[in-house]
Each structure stands twice: as structure tokens, then as C-alpha cells.
Amino acid sequence: MLRYWLEKVWVQNTVLAVVGIISLYYWGWVFDFGYDFQWPILFTVNKTYQINFGVEILKGLWLTAKITLISSLIGISLGTALGLARLSDFKPLNWTATCIVEFFRNTPLLVILFFFYFAFPQALPEAGRELLFETQFEFWTATFAVGLYTSAFMAEVIRAGLQSIPKGLLEAAYSSGLTYVQVLRKVILPLAFREIIPPLGSEFLNNMKNTSLAMVVGVADLTWQAQQVEALTFKGFEATTAASVLYLSFSLIIAFVINGVDGRIRASSKGKNSLPVMFINMLLIPVSCLNKILFHPAGRFLRQRRRQKMHAGVTVNTSQLILKKLYVMLVLISKGAFLAILAGLLFSLAKGFYSFDWSVIFKEFPTMLVWQFPNATGDDLFMGLGGFSLSFIIAIVAIFASFFIGLVVGLGRSSTNRIFRIPSLLYIELIRGNPLIIVIYWVYFLIPVLFDSFINTVWSASIALTLFTAAYLAEIVRGGIQNIPPGQVEAAFSSGLSYWQTMRKIILPQALKQMIPPIVGLFIAIFKDTSLVTVLGVMELTSVTKALDNRLMIASMELWTTAAVLYFVPCLLMSKYAKHLELKLSPEQVNLKM
């Protein structure tokens, strides 16, 4: 009887509305937060500091937008170059691009950011450091680090898109007389970008959220401004709420633009009339006018010149031979120049490693692996353990605790019943629309308010990572369930099995097998993200490295390189294992070489 009524849409909407009203009433008027909310601090001038904190937060949003735009341009440009290089038959170029991509994909962004901020200037001569510090060093360090980090992920997306192009299509293009550059410009990239716009959109969103780490090097972005409001007024709830709303709004804007670009490229009949596509078309009106006024006449002129040369016969053949020889010579010169530059970089790298103070590394390496609070006792959490060991423990706790939450939320997200689907969707989008550092601050501020007690920062960080991981894991679960043919569900229902029996005995056993590779990839991401809990003072690997760097002050290059290696090696091994599982579960793959 209950199931009969719950299947009706109007009943589902009514239940959701009643639950929403009760929740709003309870949290707004019944529950005693024990906290004096002062929302006017966000839009009035503070009498003590004579500034409007809301305006300052909007300035931080503008700086976040600038970093996002510039780092996105760096990411897509460098990512396209790296993606093409990874498919090259020229082995030195292929290996170099692979090393760059694997290193930045398997190293936390925060460690990369600290490396460029603390260690990289020490490798420059005195004049170079002075020139570097005369610019907006913090801003450009954060922007370049985020762009470089994003490029490694975009490179893999672009490489996958390029490999999705049928090999016969490339052979037909080459047999028609097109050069590699022409095939790349007219066939490969247009087709590839049409397929990779959705995953590229996800990377653009991740890039925007990654800019929140710019605050750790003193960039006054949105997160920094929110924390500044909390530090000056002790109103962390209001400041974090404002930052969350702005980050969610920014995420929706980026998603809106990406959907418009995707719909316009696909040029589907449904997409032409959608609001995002209409917005993109409106933005492209000046480009279309310029194209008609300038580029179309130039193209017609060049085509006429080409037709006139076609009558030259031998002259055209001779000029084509000359151009082909020049092209071959240019390719050889380019390869030689690349090998020379690569040799110089490898020599400088080897020289730099040779000049390391290895005694510092050997002395501090055990501390970075297993750090303990002085005079730690058995009553301390994990016996006061820190460093790499604590990072790994936090990641293990987060991935196992989030599995059950993600499984339930993923099932709710896949349900056709709105009572389960809409709350699950709200949870996923709320968490995924905010940077992890904001989620960490939310948990840190809310737990004392809701439970009227403080907990250890390690547990606070673990809860934040668990909630964050569960949202992404829920999407993995939803994708795994949707990959199961719907006919199996219909057959199970027709045989008399209930929904939960169908899920437990038929759907989930098959879906979990497909979810293993992305879950391993998610564990890699969480292990890297443990570096962010340094903002709470948790003494994991990044915090320990920073403390050692502040104490020694002369070994930044050695310490941050060691930290990067400690993150990189486990992540690389896990990524290789994930790739092995993916190949094992889907062996039908064709590699594209260009």
C-alpha cells in the first residue's frame, strides 16, 4: 500500500515539500545553535575596521575569476600540447610528455604550489630572484601552479579523445594528400574536442575549485577573504556561507557555459534552442561578423591563387617538392633542437640533484615518514603519529567510511523516486560545487555548533574528507549502475525480486566490478587531498615538511622534492594498478599513433 502511494509523483512532491518546511522550521526557529548570527556583517560597513566585508569578499571572487581564467588558458594550451606529444612516434618527446603528465597527476597541488613558492626561487641566481619578487610573485606562482597541474589532467582527457577517432578516418585523410598539420587542424582536433567537451568541462570546474589553494601563499582570493572575515570578526559561519554560495554560483556559470559550447559543437536540433547554446551564439556574434568581413574574403583570395597555380603544372610540382623538403628539414631541425634542449634540462636536473644537501634528506626522511608529537603517550590519537603515516591513515579512513555513504547516496541518485533522488542530488551538487578546503572549514566550524563540543582536528579533517569523497563516490556508483543493461532489472522484477533484492543480488555485484578502477583512482585523489588538512594544523606530511622547512630555512629544495617523491611514488603505483584493472576489465582498446 505504501509503495503504491510513494510511486505517485504528487505524493513524492508533497513529502519533499513537507520535509523541507519542517527542516526549515526546525533549523531556523527550534534548534539552538548557541551562536549569534550576524548576517549584516556581509553588507554593512564594519565600525571597527571601517571596511565592508561583503565588498572585500567580492574582490576576492574577482581575483579568483582572474586566476581561474588565466590558469584555464595555461591548462588547455599546455594540456593540448602534452596530449599530442603523448601520441607522438618520436620517443623522446613521448617519454618527456609522459613523465610530465605522470608527475603532476600524482603529486598534490599544494606540494607543487609550495615547491614553486619556497624552493624554486632558491634555484635562481640573485638577479633572477629579485626580478621574480618584483612582479606579483604570489599571484603568478598560484596561477602557474594551478594551470600546470590542470594541464596534466587535460592532457589525458585530450589524449583519450584523440584515441577515440577511428583509425580508418585518419588513413583516409592522409591518403587524400593532407599533411599532418592539416589533418590535425581539420580532422583530428575538431572531432576530438566534440567528444571531450564534457570531461573538459569537469576539469575546468576542478581548476576553478583548485584556485582556492592560492590563499596558502597569501593571494587574497575568495577563500582568503572569507578566512580574513572570520579572523577579524570571529564570524566563520557567515563568511564560509558567503564563500560557499559564491563558489556554487561560479560553478553553475561554468557549467552553463560548458553546456552551451557542447550543444553548439554537437549542433543537435534540441541543443540549438537551449538557453546555454543561445547565450554562446550571442557571444560569438562579433566573431561571426569578423569572420564574414575579414577571413572569408581572405580565404576566397587564397583559393583563387591556388586554382591559378594548378595550371602551372611543373611549377606547382616543383614548388610542392621544395615545400616538402623544407618541411622535412624543419621537422629534423625541430627534433634536433628538442633533443638539445632536453639534454640541457637533464644536465641541469642532474647537476641540481648532485648539489643537494643529501645529509639533510637522510636526516629528515624518517621524520617525514613517521613524525610524532614530543612526549606522545598511548592516550594521544594514533599515539601522536604524523607525517606520511598519518596522511595514509586519514586516506584509508576516508575511503572506507565514504564507501557506505557513497553507496547509499549513489543508489538514491539512481532512483526514479524523487524522495530519494532529489536529496541525494542536492548533497552531491552541494559538496562537488565547493572546493575541498571550504568543506574542511564547514566541518571545522559546524561540528562545535551542532554537538557543542570540539573534536580532534584529525577527526574533523577525516569527516570532511569522508563527506567530500562520498559525493564523488556516489557518482561512480550511479555510473556503474547505469552501465548495467536495463533488461536485467526488468527480468529481476518479473521474477518476483524486490528492488533491494535486485540491487543486492544482481545489479551491485556487476556494477562493483566496473567501479573498482575509478574507486582506486578516487583513493589516489583522496591521498593527495590529505595535504589540504594542513590548514587545520594537522601534522600530516605537508605540515611536517613545512615545519621542517621553517626550522632549517636553507633546504627548501631538498625537503619539498622529498615530499613530492613521497606522494608521487605511492600514487604512481596505485595509478598503474588502476590502469591494469581497467585494461583487464575492458581489454578491447586500440592505441592511436600520430
| Residue 76: Cβ within 10 Å count | 20
| Residue with cell string 590535425 | 184
Average pLDDT, the chain: 84
Asked whether residue 205 carries a pLDDT value surpassing 70, the answer given is: yes
The model's pLDDT over 253-294, given as tens digits with 9 standing for 90+, comes to 988 888 888 777 766 444 456 787 787 788 777 877 777 776
Kindly state the DSSP code that residue 472 receives in the 8-state scheme. H
- Higher-pLDDT residue of 123 and 62 is 62
The model's pLDDT over 292-301, given as tens digits with 9 standing for 90+, comes to 776 667 666 6
Instruction: Give burial (CB, 10 Å; 0-12/13-18/19+) of 315.
Output: exposed
Predicted pLDDT at 450: 73
3-class DSSP string for 246-295: HHHHHHHHHHHHHHHHHHHHHCCHHHHCCHHHHHHHHHCHHHHHHHHHHH
Predicted pLDDT at 453: 74
pLDDT above 70 covers a percentage of the chain that reads 89
Predicted pLDDT at 149: 95
Predicted pLDDT at 60: 94
Predicted pLDDT at 594: 47
Asked whether residue 48 carries a pLDDT value surpassing 80, the answer given is: yes
Predicted pLDDT at 1: 63
Cβ pair 101, 79 in contact under 8 A: no
Predicted pLDDT at 132: 84
CA terminus-to-terminus distance, the chain? 62
| Nearest residue to 56 via CA among 210, 246, 250, 216 | 246
The model's pLDDT over 444-478, given as tens digits with 9 standing for 90+, comes to 888 777 777 778 888 889 999 999 999 999 988 88
What does the CA dihedral 532, 538, 541, 547 come to, rounded to 10 degrees?
A: 110
| Residue with cell string 569523497 | 469
Asked whether residue 585 carries a pLDDT value surpassing 90, the answer given is: no
If you average pLDDT over each of 128-137, 399-408, 449-458, which comes out highest? 399-408
Rounded to 5 degrees, what are φ and ψ at 437? -65, -35
CB half-sphere exposure, 239, CA atoms < 13 A: 23
* Lowest mean pLDDT segment, chosen from 80-89, 363-372, 454-463, 490-499: 490-499
Kindly state the DSSP code that residue 504 receives in the 8-state scheme. I
